[in-house]
Chain A
Amino acid sequence: MYAVETSNLTRKFGNFTAVNNLNLRIKKGSIYGFLGPNGSGKSTTIRMLCGILEPTSGSGKVLGLDLLKDGERIKSFLGYMSQKFSLYDDLTVLENLEFYAGMYSLPKNLKKQRIEEMLAMAGLRGQERELAANLSGGWKQRLALGCAILHKPPLLFLDEPTGGVDPKARRLFWDIIYSLANEGTTIMVSTHFMDEAEHCDEIGFIFQGNLIASNTPENLKKSLPAVLLEIEVENPLERLGEISSRSDILDAYAYGPKIHVLVERPEACTDFSYHQITPSLEDIFVYYVKSQRKGLKG
């Protein structure tokens, strides 16, 4: 059963195709990581799924409701947090929460209980009367999350929720995401932090509006038809340009005093001393992007 299912979802801005024939499937109760560089169409996709941006073509179902017909009805069942933590700066923590409780028409007793829970979750007890403007990044982020999930939405969209937040706050935030997923919430989170992607049940790579891979992190790693080698050379920075320009090398980057190269066959590097290492998601992403580019050229 899928919480989100799209077929050929496309959005164009003038001549620019921000999202191109996206076929996305997100299992109920899973955490789906949406990865891609800036401007690759992550936010556009999420906005379409939230019903605040009209798709140019294609269709989709969110929680079984048709994206095109039931756009407004969907809104009661989802939570959305944009990358800007759109809180009212001139309202206090409590006033922000109460405002969104009103937006989702929570009944009085439930409202009180949920606001308490959100304060506890965000670690904002005792700061209820603080203006949102005065909160630092991590707290702001958790307050924004609190406002987005006050109504216990079964589906939660997080658009780059951890931008500009320190590592400790990031970890705290992911702890919250896990516990939400444990309670059955389906979560789609976009990010360009590759380490965050490892936390997800499934990952989708999006590049220039195209979904170029979608699978579990393990399967993605296994499916990689290339290997990552660590080679030792002298003056790695000077040799990098020469090495990466070799046609049989997909990618090369300096890694401390060594160079990591992504190759389809390890034989390509027999002129170096090397050993094979486990690729990270970043390496996999680079591989998919490069092969996508090749495909586009070819």
Chain B
Amino acid sequence: MKRLWAILIKEFIQMSRDRLTFAMMVALPIVQLLIFGFAINTDVKHLPTIVFDQSLQQEGRDFLSALEASGYYSINYTARNFQEVNDAIDSGKAKVGIIIPPDFSRNLHGGRSAQVQVLVDASDSMSASSAISAAQLLGQVKSQEIIIKHLPGGKMETPYDVRIRPWYNPDFISAYYMVPGILGVILTMTMVMITSMAIVREKEKGTLEQLIVTPLKSYELMLGKIIPYIFVGYVQITLALLVGILVFDLPIRGSLWLLYLLTSLFIIASLALGVLISSFAKTQMQAMQMSFFVFLPSILLSGFMFPRVAMPKIIYALGNLIPLTFYLDILRGIILKGIGLNFLFTQVLALIVMIIIILTLSILKFSKKIA
């Protein structure tokens, strides 16, 4: 107990002396959240659009202004021929080209289907799909208006009435989805990185050799390297939540206490992972590289960036080995859905199992021997 205590005191003193690292630990969540929160925006709006209107009549103009009113398109250029449309999209000036054929109004009035061609630069699939769905939706709405107008008796019920109600984030504000995710990613990055350095730094400086000739137990060293950073993790998540609430109007729908309680599991799991890396690595450089080996899958496979349901089975299963996967469920669940512990048992259990496995591995791996 005395030994663990001595290590804790030492770690805290060293942390407070290392101003740069300390500043990084505090500044990192704020800066990253601000940058990512603003930059990672999947609501694609105001796509630059070029229009080649061959009909030049009222109906065409109505359609275009409806498109613009949807907010997805801003009609910046008008073309006089097909070539100009092609060029604008090729050069990247425009992401969308809209071509209204000469017989557009005539077809409409004649009760035939009037075609509009929408060219989309799908090299950026995110903007493409937004543009496509917006155009399709608009087409349907417009068609229905006309069909209803032309029906005898004036009105009828739509045969299929599909009503979609997006829960938890009805306005599809991507910050709501992203900010909790970023929170988890930032915690992973700093927690894993800091502790992955912890033991290997002592190896490099030679202080570890002096440490292992003392009666210090392996688990005491591991705990001594983990516990101080739990506090750092809590400082980080508090700062990040504040930024989320103040800057991105993030609603906290569930219990903040539960969030803080379950966060400890994720922090400990990440720290343990870092310690495991540290006991494998021979130099700080190696530790850094191994940390990246943890970051990338965490970002790509956890469901932070891409929906996990779309992943192939094997990749999906791999995602289950990453603590962030479960923490994201917890974060989004509590923050956005406002759910309680009863829906998060699996995640909590998974994190606890991970902690036990990783810690056991690192205590076993770290023998009090050199070479």
Q: Residues of A with Cβ closer than 8 Å to B?
A: 13, 47, 50-54, 72, 75-76, 78, 80-82, 84, 86-91, 95, 98-106, 144, 147-148
B110 contacts partner chain A, Cβ-Cβ < 8 Å: no
Within 8 A of A (CB), among B213-238: 213-216
Whether the Cβ atoms of A80 and B213 lie closer than 8 Å is yes
20 contacts between A and B (CB under 8 A): A13-B371, A52-B212, A52-B369, A53-B369, A53-B370, A53-B371, A54-B369, A84-B206, A88-B207, A91-B13, A95-B13, A98-B9, A99-B9, A101-B6, A102-B5, A102-B6, A102-B7, A103-B3, A104-B214, A148-B210
Against A, the Cβ 8 Å flags (1 = close, 0 = not) of B1-12 are: 011011101100
B170 → chain A closest CB, angstroms = 52
* Other A-B pairs beyond A75-B214, A90-B17, A91-B10, 14, CB < 8 Å: A51-B213, A51-B368, A52-B213, A76-B215, A82-B206, A82-B210, A84-B206, A86-B206, A87-B210, A101-B6, A102-B7, A103-B6, A103-B215, A106-B2
B211 contacts partner chain A, Cβ-Cβ < 8 Å: yes
A84 to B213, CA, bound (A): 14
B169 contacts partner chain A, Cβ-Cβ < 8 Å: no
Within 8 A of A (CB), among B313-371: 368-371
Whether the Cβ atoms of B2 and A75 lie closer than 8 Å is no
Instruction: Tell me which of B10, B18, B207, B210 has the highest count of chain A C-beta atoms within 10 A of its own C-beta.
Output: B210
Whether the Cβ atoms of A104 and B369 lie closer than 8 Å is no
B-side contacts of A147, CB under 8 Å:
210
Closest to B14 in A: A90
Against A, the Cβ 8 Å flags (1 = close, 0 = not) of B159-182 are: 000000000000000000000000
Closest to A105 in B: B2
B205 contacts partner chain A, Cβ-Cβ < 8 Å: yes
Whether the Cβ atoms of A82 and B6 lie closer than 8 Å is no
A-side contacts of B368, CB under 8 Å:
51-52, 72
Contacting residue for B209 out of A54, A82, A99, A104, CB 8 A: A82
Whether the Cβ atoms of A78 and B213 lie closer than 8 Å is yes
A143 to B369, CA, bound (A): 24
A95 → chain B closest CB, angstroms = 6
Closest to B217 in A: A72
For the complex, would chain B's binding face be called helix, strand, loop or mixed by DSSP majority? Answer: helix
B153 → chain A closest CB, angstroms = 86
A147 to B213, CA, bound (A): 12
Contacts A80-B210, A82-B210, A86-B206; A102 near B9 (Cβ below 8 A): yes
B-side contacts of A76, CB under 8 Å:
215
Contacting residue for B215 out of A50, A81, A105, CB 8 A: A105
Whether the Cβ atoms of A50 and B17 lie closer than 8 Å is no
Whether the Cβ atoms of B207 and A86 lie closer than 8 Å is yes
Contacting residue for A99 out of B6, B17, B18, B215, CB 8 A: B6
Contacts A54-B369, A88-B14; A72 near B206 (Cβ below 8 A): no
A-side contacts of B207, CB under 8 Å:
86-88
Closest to B18 in A: A90
Whether the Cβ atoms of B10 and A95 lie closer than 8 Å is yes
A88 to B209, CA, bound (A): 12
B-side contacts of A89, CB under 8 Å:
205
Whether the Cβ atoms of B215 and A102 lie closer than 8 Å is no
A106 → chain B closest CB, angstroms = 8
A-side contacts of B205, CB under 8 Å:
86, 89
A-side contacts of B206, CB under 8 Å:
82, 84, 86
A107 → chain B closest CB, angstroms = 9
A144 to B206, CA, bound (A): 13
Contacting residue for B2 out of A13, A50, A91, A102, CB 8 A: A102
Whether the Cβ atoms of A86 and B210 lie closer than 8 Å is yes
A209 → chain B closest CB, angstroms = 16
B-side contacts of A84, CB under 8 Å:
206, 209
B-side contacts of A102, CB under 8 Å:
2-3, 5-7, 9
A87 to B215, CA, bound (A): 17
Whether the Cβ atoms of B2 and A72 lie closer than 8 Å is no
A52 to B206, CA, bound (A): 13
Closest to A95 in B: B13
Whether the Cβ atoms of B10 and A88 lie closer than 8 Å is yes
Contacts A52-B370, A53-B369; A75 near B5 (Cβ below 8 A): no
B18 → chain A closest CB, angstroms = 7
Whether the Cβ atoms of B209 and A52 lie closer than 8 Å is yes
Within 8 A of A (CB), among B195-212: 205-212
A72 to B209, CA, bound (A): 14
Whether the Cβ atoms of A99 and B10 lie closer than 8 Å is yes
A89 to B207, CA, bound (A): 10
A-side contacts of B9, CB under 8 Å:
98-99, 102
Whether the Cβ atoms of A86 and B209 lie closer than 8 Å is yes
Closest to A148 in B: B210
Contacts A47-B370, A99-B9; A104 near B215 (Cβ below 8 A): yes
Closest to B5 in A: A102
A72 → chain B closest CB, angstroms = 7
A82 to B212, CA, bound (A): 12
Instruction: Tell me which of B209, B213, B368, B371 has the highest count of chain A C-beta atoms within 10 A of its own C-beta.
Output: B213
